[in-house]
């Protein structure tokens, strides 16, 4: 009788694990479908770059996106920090496409909301994304946080907040956490540096971590952007 009970527990645990895996796979699939419904958008944005040893004014601009990977930021004056390898500022490019394996990594709390944690591993060996970790609010089907590890750009951590455009899975605010060594300043721009005493700067390494906060003021969604929008004049 005891052996039968033990066997029942083992079978039940195996079934529960399988059900959880299927559930996690479906949750990711539903999230990806929602995000990928956006084929293109034009967004008015404000960007604030927070770096400890720089004073950088807030930037305004227009952000253009076209699926799967076209993006252009048209600045309205000011300074921007650009990635060495063109990081994408949109959620759809940080979620793996194609066949994936999804692992249920439990739950957590973000801003008072309970979220499911999914670890997503692309099955395509040529995928630029190696691993994605996504914190998903199930009721609204929104990703509140992503941590994406790529082959060439390291790990990108992003927090997302939603309001007016939640039905499209488009955030009103995104905070991207970065290491400044992976970024470069465009030619011809100037900035004000915080005063650093040479002796202090020589003895103490500068903290090169920072973040970019992007506020999306408005979107125009799925209107059919031309590829010509993304051609930058030399």
The band of 78, judged by pLDDT with boundaries at 50, 70 and 90, is low
Of the ranges 2-6, 95-99, 109-113, 210-214, which is most confident? 109-113
Task: Look at residue 233 in the predicted model and tell me its pLDDT.
Answer: 61
* Residue ranges of domains in the chain: 2-223
Task: Look at residue 198 in the predicted model and tell me its pLDDT.
Answer: 39
* HEC string for the chain: CHHHHHHHHHHHHHHHHHHHHHHHHHHHHHHHHHHCCCCEEEEEEEEEEEECCEECCCEEEEEEEECCCEEEEEECCCCCCEECCCCCCCHHHHCCCCCEEEEEEEEEEECCEEEEEEEEEECCCCCCEEEEEEEEECCCCEEEEEEEEECCCEEEEEEEECCCCHHHCCCCEEEEEEEHHHEECCCCCCCEECCCCHHHHHHCCCCCEEEEEEEEEEEEECCCCCHHHHCCCC
For residue 142, pLDDT beyond 60: yes
For residue 205, pLDDT beyond 60: no
Name the pTM for this structure. 0.76
The band of 22, judged by pLDDT with boundaries at 50, 70 and 90, is low
Topology classification of domain 2-223: outer membrane lipoprotein receptor (LolB), chain A (2.50.20)
Tens-digit pLDDT profile for residues 30-66: 999 999 999 999 999 998 888 776 777 788 889 899 9
For residue 171, pLDDT beyond 90: yes
């Amino acid at each position: 009788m005891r052996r039968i009970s033990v066997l029942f527990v083992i079978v039940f645990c195996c079934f529960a694990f399988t059900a959880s895996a299927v559930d996690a796979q479906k949750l990711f699939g539903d999230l990806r479908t929602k995000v990928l419904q956006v084929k293109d958008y034009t967004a008015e944005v404000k960007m604030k770059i927070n770096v400890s040893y720089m004073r950088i004014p807030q930037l305004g601009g227009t952000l253009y996106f076209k699926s799967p990977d076209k993006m252009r930021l048209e600045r309205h004056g000011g300074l921007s920090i650009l990635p060495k390898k063109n990081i994408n500022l949109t959620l759809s490019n940080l979620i793996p496409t194609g066949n994936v394996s999804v692992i249920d990594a439990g739950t957590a709390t973000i801003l008072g909301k309970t979220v499911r944690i999914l670890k997503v591993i692309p099955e395509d060996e040529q995928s630029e994304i190696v691993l994605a970790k996504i914190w998903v609010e199930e009721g609204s089907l929104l990703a509140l946080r992503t941590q994406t590890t790529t082959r060439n750009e390291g790990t990108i951590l992003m927090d997302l907040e939603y309001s007016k455009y939640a039905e499209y899975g488009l955030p009103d605010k995104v905070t991207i956490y970065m290491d400044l060594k992976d970024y470069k300043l465009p030619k011809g721009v100037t900035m004000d540096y915080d005063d650093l005493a040479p002796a202090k700067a020589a003895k103490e390494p500068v903290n090169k971590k920072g973040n970019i906060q992007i506020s999306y003021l408005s979107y125009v969604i799925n209107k059919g952007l031309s590829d010509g929008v993304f051609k930058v004049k030399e």
